[in-house]
Homo-oligomer: A and B are copies of this chain.
Amino acid sequence: MLVVMQSQATDQQVAAVERHIRELGLSPHPMRGPTRTAIGITGNTSAVDPTSLEGLPGVRELLRVTKPYKLASREMHLDDTVVRLPQTSFGPGTFTVVAGPCSVENEEMALRTAEFLMQRGVRLMRAGAYKPRTSPYSFQGLEEAGLDILDRVRRETGIGVVTEVMDAGHVELVEAAADMLQIGTRNMQNFILLKRIAKSTKPVLLKRGISATLEEWLMAAEYLLSGGNRNVVLCERGVRTFADHTRNTLDLSVIPPVKKHSHLPVIVDPSHGTGRREYVPPMSLAALAAGADGLMVEVHPDPLKALSDGPQSLDFAQFDKLLDSLKRLAEPLGRTIC
């Protein structure tokens, strides 16, 4: 940390700040420049809250130097993490595809989709039983009945199920039907939910909050990691900006910084990221080229009849075409689609 003094700060004020730093058990390093003094702080700054320094007379601002995430940080864990599921894994060298409908609408469609995906070599199906909907008047998911369907489908087909948990009180129920727990964008900072899922033995898919900085996203992961769940996969799904050409602004530019600052795998959801089916294939290919570890894409047997997110779902033929393109592109990148 660095305390920047005002240019008119007096020697007494500088001394008072140094004293306060020592009282916090830290070491001050004053540096006098031509226009002002800055005071570096060393020591274990994470244990105390030196923001109190900002209120001292003569202080202009406080600059933090150390990143607040530790377990999620690449500096603490140089090698890429591999997150393993019974059916597949997420990590270096592979590009793992998760596909399926926005929500479980009935057993027939869930089963039909799972069979189609398994036949194509896709080992993880996404499908929501609990659906976060902006409007109380929209379809809210089949809830427990949806979980039952998912459980039967995975037993019957062997596909792995990725599905969203919306509340700490639902975790036990969802765990029983899912192979991977999804934390949705609106719950990235639902800290009660994060703490509860940190106790789960199931791997987690942690979507980026709709306006989360990279640091906030990694801090949400830190809740999971520090609580005991080390199997965290990040998922970029579009952020909120002024831009209105797509439903959200899919931020592929976050992929290389995630790789630089963290060891966790990161995948991309171009369906929510763009909101329009025709933009999903080019953005999927771009996600692969940008270095993402996988893809989460909405596929529906009959998108025109989907109860939610129809306009952004691919039909089976469109998904087949996308999978072919991904395979062709993966080769020169030294990656395997799985």
The A1-30 residues at the B interface (CB cut-off 8 A) are 2, 4, 6-8, 29
The A187-229 residues at the B interface (CB cut-off 8 A) are 187, 189-193, 195, 210-211, 213-214, 216, 219, 222-223, 226-227
Residue A152 at the B interface, CB < 8 A?
Answer: no
Residue A282 at the B interface, CB < 8 A?
Answer: yes
State the Cβ distance, A280 to closest chain B Cβ, in Å: 9
| A329 with B132: CB separation less than 8 A | no
Q: How far is the CA of A135 from the CA of B157 in the complex (A)?
A: 40
Q: How far is the CA of A298 from the CA of B328 in the complex (A)?
A: 29
Residues of B within 8 A of A166 (CB): 190-192
Residue A32 at the B interface, CB < 8 A?
Answer: yes
Residue A126 at the B interface, CB < 8 A?
Answer: no
| A66 with B239: CB separation less than 8 A | no
Stretch at the interface among A44-52, A80-88, A103-111, A113-121: A44-52
State the Cβ distance, A143 to closest chain B Cβ, in Å: 11
State the Cβ distance, A228 to closest chain B Cβ, in Å: 11
Residues of B within 8 A of A134 (CB): 68, 189, 216, 219
| A52 with B245: CB separation less than 8 A | no
State the Cβ distance, A325 to closest chain B Cβ, in Å: 8
Residues of B within 8 A of A190 (CB): 166-167, 186-187, 190
State the Cβ distance, A50 to closest chain B Cβ, in Å: 10
Contact A253-B260, Cβ < 8 Å, known A40-B40, A65-B2, A239-B241? no
1/0 per residue, CB under 8 A from B, across A261-303: the answer is 0000000000001100111001101111111000000000001
Q: How far is the CA of A288 from the CA of B308 in the complex (A)?
A: 32
Residues of B within 8 A of A216 (CB): 134
Q: Which residue from chain B places its CB closest to the CB of A211 in the assembled complex? A: B211
Residue A149 at the B interface, CB < 8 A?
Answer: no
Q: How far is the CA of A311 from the CA of B60 in the complex (A)?
A: 12
Q: How far is the CA of A189 from the CA of B63 in the complex (A)?
A: 28
Q: How far is the CA of A88 from the CA of B278 in the complex (A)?
A: 30
State which of B35, B195, B279, B286 has its C-beta within 8 Å of the C-beta of A289.
B286
Q: Which residue from chain B places its CB closest to the CB of A244 in the assembled complex? A: B213
Contacts A211-B242, A283-B290 aside, 17 further interface pairs with beta carbons under 8 A come to A8-B75, A31-B40, A33-B42, A34-B43, A40-B40, A49-B310, A54-B311, A63-B63, A68-B135, A68-B137, A168-B169, A213-B242, A240-B240, A241-B242, A252-B290, A285-B289, A325-B332
Top 4 nearest A-B pairs (CB, nearest first) are A33-B42, A286-B290, A211-B211, A289-B289
